[in-house]
Amino acid sequence: MTAELFEDMAPEKGAQTVMAPGAMLLHGLARAVDAALLRGLEDVIASATLRHLTTPGGYTMSVAMSNCGPLGWVSDRSGYRYEALDPLSVRPWPVIPPCWMDLAVEAAVQAGYQRFQPDACLVNMYEPGAKLSLHQDKDEKDFSAPIVSVSLGLPATFLFGTGSRSDKPQRHRLVHGDVVVWGGPARLAYHGVAPLADGEHPLLGRRRINLTFRRAG
């Protein structure tokens, strides 16, 4: 099935799905500004190239990653953490594009979180077969701010669980322009992405881009 058909089958823009207390899927919220988001993407990855990080256990991630904002999330054999400098260039990460920041703040407000000011945005690129194992976002200093996650490109199956890894996660189909926000009682929910199915998106080809905004510092 093509990416266009997935988007035709998706709920209309403006629809909302409550995934759990504190967690909401905002269908199609980013679609109207996707051109601006993708222009920002080109600028960010030109300054901080995508790379496959190594986990503390020595595993190479299938997802290619970069960052923008005052802080960037990094991983290597010494652990997971946030750093102010890109380890590859030893320069500050590029700034978060204004249109990205506007979208993140708007999404947070729609999900019930006021005054969200992210200081880190992870840029993840998935190609067919790439996945993200179930995990918690817990490297931040303060868990009071939500996570805002924007999906662009190929559709993906988002796995969203609870605070217990043993609980079976929900499966949500995310298409181009969908935004997920979770915080409050859902802030430490386990989540991940199932292996990306092959396909062709009219704007991003055989790729999915995920922008994840956080308050890290």
Mean pLDDT, residues 56-72 taken together: 97
CA-to-CA dists, residue 61 to 50, 56, 71, 133, 152, angstroms: 12, 11, 20, 10, 20
Question: What's the predicted TM-score (pTM) here?
Answer: 0.94
Long-range contacts of 166-173 (CB under 8 A, 24+ apart): 169/134, 170/19, 170/20, 172/17, 172/19, 172/25, 173/6, 173/10
What is the average pLDDT score of the chain?
95
Topology of the domain covering 3-214: Jelly Rolls (2.60.120)
pLDDT confidence band for 198 (50 / 70 / 90) = very high
Give one DSSP letter per residue of 150-194, joined into a string: EEEES-EEEEE--SSTTSPPEEEEE-TT-EEEE-GGGTT--EEEP
Could you tell me the two tokens for 50? 């995508």
Q: How far is residue 131 from each of residues 22, 35, 83, 160, measured CA to CA in Å? A: 24, 25, 24, 14
Structural domain boundaries in the chain: 3-214
Strand-pairing partners, residue 76, are 79
Per-residue pLDDT tens for 187-196? 999 999 999 9
d(C-alpha 166, C-alpha 170), whole Å = 12
Give Cβ neighbours of residue 9 (< 8 Å, ≥ 6 apart). Answer: none
Report pLDDT digits (tens) over 22-47: 999 999 999 999 999 999 999 999 99
Work out the pLDDT band at 1, boundaries 50, 70, 90. very low
Q: Which tokens sit at 65?
A: 């990653």
Number of helices (H), then strands (E), belonging to the chain: the values are: 3, 13
The yes-or-no verdict on residue 7 having pLDDT over 70 is no
pLDDT band (50, 70, 90) for residue 9: low
Q: Taking residues 44-65, what's their average pLDDT?
A: 97
Angle, helices 98-110 vs 34-47, to 10°: value is 130
Q: Give, in order, the Cα–Cα distances in Å from 195 to each of 5, 86, 99.
A: 19, 28, 29
Instruction: Give the burial string for 87-108 (b: 16+ CB within 10 Å, else e).
Output: eeeeebbbbbbeebbebbbbbb
| Helix locations, 22-116, DSSP H | 34-47, 98-110
